[in-house]
Amino acid sequence: MGDPATGLAGAVRRPRRADARRNFDALLRAAREAFAEHGTDASLEDVARRAGVGIGTLYRNFPTRQHLFEAVYVGEVEELCRSAEEAAELPPWEALASWLRRFVSYSATKRAIYEALSRDSEIVATCRTSIYAAGEPLLARAQRAGEVREDLGFDDLLRLISGITAARVTDDAQRDRILTIALDGTRPRQP
């Protein structure tokens, strides 16, 4: 499986100097946390404070809130794509199920940011392509191994999983139970 995240390489410009990269990465981590806690209305001053940098450093790296949203979104997609590479080492069913569980946690974090992005933007299209490039081989491999229904398309699977992440649940344990039930439904029917 090649690296599905390579299409994202130019989507966000990372600084070259080590100290600037550290600040950039700290801002992305802080923004991810702040957006997960407070949605897209999170204070940029709070993001800078969490990262341990001044607001000027934030604006040098991300001139607008939209730039920060895009960078966080791309970072999440890159991690999701890398997790598909790691999961590919597992047996077919475990690889797919493991990656889909990671997709659920990714979806929870990115939902607010995704809503703030233009769905027609080049970045969103590139991210979607990268997600498909990462996940489709896992599904195909599980289907070839007889572990997943043959009539299930990758788009169908993502819509199923996205529906689960969009549902309001009482806690993470309930979401995990629902995901397990849904994954059981992707298995081939026994005669």
**DSSP string covering 65-122:** HHHHHHHHHHHHHHHHHHHHHHHTTS-HHHHHHHHHHHHHHHHHHHHHHHHHS-TTSH
Query: Is residue 128, in this structure, part of any structural domain at all?
Result: yes
Domain match, 58 and 78 both: no
Query: Is residue 69, in this structure, part of any structural domain at all?
Result: yes
Range of weakest confidence among 19-28, 119-128, 130-139: 119-128
Q: For residue 133, how many C-alpha atoms fall within 13 Å in the half-sphere facing its CB?
A: 18
- The CA distance from 133 to 158, in Å, is 13
CB 4 within 8 A of CB 74: no
Q: How many domains are contained in the chain?
A: 2
Query: Is residue 4, in this structure, part of any structural domain at all?
Result: no
The predicted structure's pLDDT at residue 15: 65
Chain segment 134-173, per-residue pLDDT in tens: 999 999 999 999 999 999 999 999 999 988 888 888 888 9
Cα dihedral 66→67→69→70 (10° resolution): 120
Domain match, 48 and 127 both: no
Give the residue carrying structure tokens 């794509």.
Answer: 81
pTM score, whole prediction: 0.80
Domain housing 176: 65-191
Distances (CA, A) of 125 to 23, 114, 147, 158: 27, 12, 30, 15
Chain segment 39-58, per-residue pLDDT in tens: 888 999 999 999 999 999 99
Residues 6+ apart with CB under 8 A from 132: 154
Domain match, 142 and 117 both: yes
Domain match, 70 and 115 both: yes
Domain match, 113 and 155 both: yes
The fraction of the chain above a pLDDT of 70, given in percent, is 88
The fraction of the chain above a pLDDT of 90, given in percent, is 57
Q: Which of 106, 65, 69, 102 is nearest to 84 (CA)?
A: 102
Range of weakest confidence among 8-12, 19-23, 31-35: 8-12
Residue 6 has pLDDT above 60, yes or no: no
Reduced to 3 states (helix: H, G, I; strand: E, B; else coil), residue 149 is coil
The predicted structure's pLDDT at residue 86: 94
